[in-house]
Structure 1
Amino acid sequence: MLDTHGRALVQPSIQATAQFFINKGLSANQVTVIAFLVGISASVLIYFNQAIIGVLVLWLSGFLDAVDGSMARQSKTTSGWGTVLDVTFDRVVEAGILIALALKHPDVQILFLFLVLAISIIFTMTIFLTVGAVSDKQSAKSFYYQPGLAERTEGFILFSLLALFQSQLILWTIVFIIVEILTGLQRLLEAYRILK
């Protein structure tokens, strides 16, 4: 939701950073890898009790994740491989946060909720990626970007809440699960409407 409706507010800084990296000779895929490494380091920081720094680093990786796409579009170097790399690394960074928190909090109830959360993310992402692959609709990205209640920014907010308020992990994980399921159902209904 925030990505769809708020992107225009941050797009100038994303484009300026993209142009800066292009001028420095970096490719979009190189920035994708940098964003991935930064994102993974957020998990390490969170595991080692540096949650505030870890969350800031996570958001930096998210910013770079937006920059790489802008770089590809500005330099006209978009590719299927770049899209696959980008989407795959996004999921690995998210999994890294969950793994770091699971290692810190090996309580059975929390681990079960993390499992349900992971399944709800898989559910939502499966619909998102499948609709993007089979839809004739176009977007600025290399596939149809289906809007929803929880997009990348909302995910980052929820992962940040998990990391920063670990004493309330059960509450925030349940909230995250509900948001993911609602998003999946919303996208499923839209898929039925546009693909039937």
Structure 2
Amino acid sequence: MIDTKARRYVQPVIETTAGGALRLGLTPNQVTVAGFLVGIGAAVSVYAGVYWLGLVLLWVSGFVDAVDGTMARQTKSSKFGTVLDISFDRLVEFGIIFALALRFPDVMWALLLLTGTILYTFSIFISVGAVADEEAEKSFYYQPALAERTEGFILLSLMILFTDYLLYMALLFIAVQLITAVQRLYLARRMLD
């Protein structure tokens, strides 16, 4: 929801950064890998209990993720780059959840359930993108919904910041994912039938 509504406000900064990376000779895929490594650094930091660093690295990886996509659209995007980008995004999110599960095994059940709801919601998203005949600026149809990447980062951030309330933050994230899944299924039914 935030990505769809607010992207135009941050897009100038993203485009400037993307242009700078291109002038340095970087490719979108190289920036994707860099963002992934920063995101894994975030997960390692969370596992180590250095939450503030994990939080900063998580958001840096998210920014870099936006930059690589803009770079691809400014040059020639590749289908492999899309696969790399989307799959690395999920690994970064999983890395944060896994790091929290290792640090707080008493709420591991909720984090496992959260992972399942993210997988289900993302399966709907990627399936609709694959079968939709809609034209899109990105290399696939991007189905807007309540929980997009920024909302996920906000919820992951709350989990990192408020570990004393990790169970409640995870349950909130699960609820948001379930609402998003129902929303995406409803919209898919309307669009695809």
One fold, TM greater than 0.5?
A: yes
When the two structures are superposed, what TM-score results if normalisation uses the length of structure 2? 0.99
What does residue 112 of structure 1 align with? 109
> What is the alpha-carbon distance in structure 2 between the residues aligned to residue 184 and residue 145 of structure 1?
14
1:52 deviation in Å? 1.1
Instruction: Give secondary structure in 2 for the equivalent of 1:139.
Output: coil
1:99 aligns with 2:98: yes
What does residue 122 of structure 1 align with? 119
- Give the paired residue count: 193
> What is the alpha-carbon distance in structure 2 between the residues aligned to residue 42 and residue 160 of structure 1?
11
User: After superposition, where does 1:176-191 map in structure 2 within 5 Å?
Assistant: 176-191=173-188
Instruction: Give secondary structure in 1 for the equivalent of 2:69.
Output: helix
Please give the per-residue CA displacement for 1:31-56, whole angstroms capped at 9, x wherever unaligned: 00000000000011111111111111
What does residue 59 of structure 1 align with? 59
What does residue 78 of structure 2 align with? 79
User: After superposition, where does 1:1-196 map in structure 2 within 5 Å?
Assistant: 1-75=1-75, 77-107=76-106, 110-196=107-193
Please give the per-residue CA displacement for 1:106-125, whole angstroms capped at 9, x wherever unaligned: 11xx1111111011001100
When the two structures are superposed, what TM-score results if normalisation uses the length of structure 1? 0.97
1:151 deviation in Å? 0.2
Instruction: Give secondary structure in 2 for the equivalent of 1:137.
Output: coil
Please give the per-residue CA displacement for 1:68-124, whole angstroms capped at 9, x wherever unaligned: 00001111x2111000000000010011001110110111xx111111101100110
User: Which consecutive aligned stretches of 4+ in structure 1 deviate over 3 angstroms post-superposition?
Assistant: none
Matched residue type, 2:91: V
Instruction: Give secondary structure in 2 for the equivalent of 1:145.
Output: coil
> What is the alpha-carbon distance in structure 2 between the residues aligned to residue 119 and residue 46 of structure 1?
21
| Aligned-residue CA RMSD (Å) | 0.6
> What is the alpha-carbon distance in structure 2 between the residues aligned to residue 43 and residue 55 of structure 1?
9
Sequence identity, in percent? Answer: 53
> What is the alpha-carbon distance in structure 1 between the residues aligned to residue 18 and residue 152 of structure 2?
23
Matched residue type, 2:109: F
Instruction: Give secondary structure in 1 for the equivalent of 2:105.
Output: coil
Please give the per-residue CA displacement for 1:5-37, whole angstroms capped at 9, x wherever unaligned: 000000000000000000000000000000000
Matched residue type, 1:97: I
Please give the per-residue CA displacement for 1:121-143, whole angstroms capped at 9, x wherever unaligned: 01100000000000011221100
The 10-residue stretch of structure 1 (44-53 or 33-42) with the greater mean CA deviation from structure 2: 44-53
1:61 deviation in Å? 0.2
